[in-house]
Amino acid sequence: MGGTSRRIDKGKGRKIVVGMSGGVDSTATLILLKENGWKPIGVSLKFSVWEDESNLNQNPCCTVDSIQRAKEICNKFECEHHILDITDEFQKNVINYFVDSMKKSQTPNPCMVCNRNTKFQQLINFADSKRIKYVATGHYAKIVKSRKYNSLFISHSNDETKDQTYNLSLLPQEWLERIIFPLGEMTKSEVYKMVRKKGLGFYEKILQSQDFCFVSEKSLDSFIEKEIGNNNGDIVDKNGKVLGNHKGLQYYTIGQRKKIGLAGGPYYVIKKDISKNEIIVSTDKKDLGKTEILLSDVFFSNKDFYGKKIKVKSKIRYQQKSSSAELFPINEINKEYKIVFREPKIGVTPGQYCVFYIRNLCVGSGVIT
């Protein structure tokens, strides 16, 4: 499928807003743009975090130290630096969404929602306030112009292990016209090599982001207990036989194997019955397989895809390989679709996103119901 990737070598002194987390990727992005004739303006977003004594292991990208590091990097390379306090917006758009999804016994994807409703929205708003057209971030992805569809799409990066197209699948066409991903042509090892040559070898000793940025994985159960509460119920097998007890559906996700607490396993969570407050488990992993999945809130970056039956490659998790499937519109007004896979997908999880690809182009996504 023909297409051309947007390049970064034609800055010609133009200003560009760069999302600066203080991590190695945003730093490399700023350096690349600077060296290719752009005039980068660093913008660090101050997110809210769960303020609890148990949440001591904050994500490295969201600390006071990381924002200070971003400021120092901007000073080193003679770039403006701004800090935007968006704690209220982040609480509303990301943390509240996360909690609401958990209360519905779904498995939320806060990174996906944050990229669309908070992170890129705030960077675009800032750029608009300064009359700047372009925005850049350190994501591993490309933006490609497709001749066939006459529109822009997110496309795979050169580093398959770091590719972030999945979490960028909700970005609209009007934003793609303004966004640049300088790291799309690089691998992570090349990024480290480049910053090391710039005297920034300390990045190799800094932990990379792993957890949700507002709560650490170690503190997640405490977060759920304090923000949502417990609701004890039964763990049953496929025949309804009670095998044990759980403290709340929100602590479990479809496909989960660990922390179920049953002898004689391993057991897999194959279903959560909200009406009965039951966890259904099985020792047979095949019970997790589904070929047909219902989707809501389906989004396409090209409006011409709406309302049509489409053959795609698709995946239901960030690091999963995509596989062949077909999309069918069910209720176009409510943006409801059905996707049918050739082979069963393991661990289909309500609340997570199913992302669609046509060859190397990420064309959209929908929420698994």
Tokens coding 196 = 């090391």
User: 200 phi and psi, to 5 degrees?
Assistant: -115, 40
CA–CA separation, 174 and 25 (whole Å): 24
Q: Where are the beta strands (DSSP E) in 197-335?
A: 233-236, 242-246, 268-273, 278-282, 289-300, 310-315, 323-331
User: 155 phi and psi, to 5 degrees?
Assistant: -135, 160
Number of H-type helices and E-type strands within the chain:
9, 18
User: 291 phi and psi, to 5 degrees?
Assistant: -100, -25
End-to-end CA distance of the chain: 31
Task: Name the one residue in this structure whose structure tokens are 């800055």.
Answer: 11
Measured over the CA atoms of residue 65, residue 70, residue 76 and residue 78, the dihedral's sign is negative
What single letter denotes the amino acid at residue 70? Answer: A
Q: Residue 53 pairs with which residues in a beta bridge?
A: none
Task: Name the one residue in this structure whose structure tokens are 């049918």.
Answer: 340
DSSP state of 208: P
Q: Which residues are catalytic?
A: 114, 213
Does an H or E element contain 31, and which?
Answer: helix 24-35
CA–CA separation, 124 and 169 (whole Å): 17
For the chain, the 3-state helix, strand and coil shares in percent, each to the nearest 5, are 30, 30, 40
CA–CA separation, 73 and 81 (whole Å): 9
Residues 248, 221: contact at Cβ < 8 Å?
A: no
DSSP state of 212: B
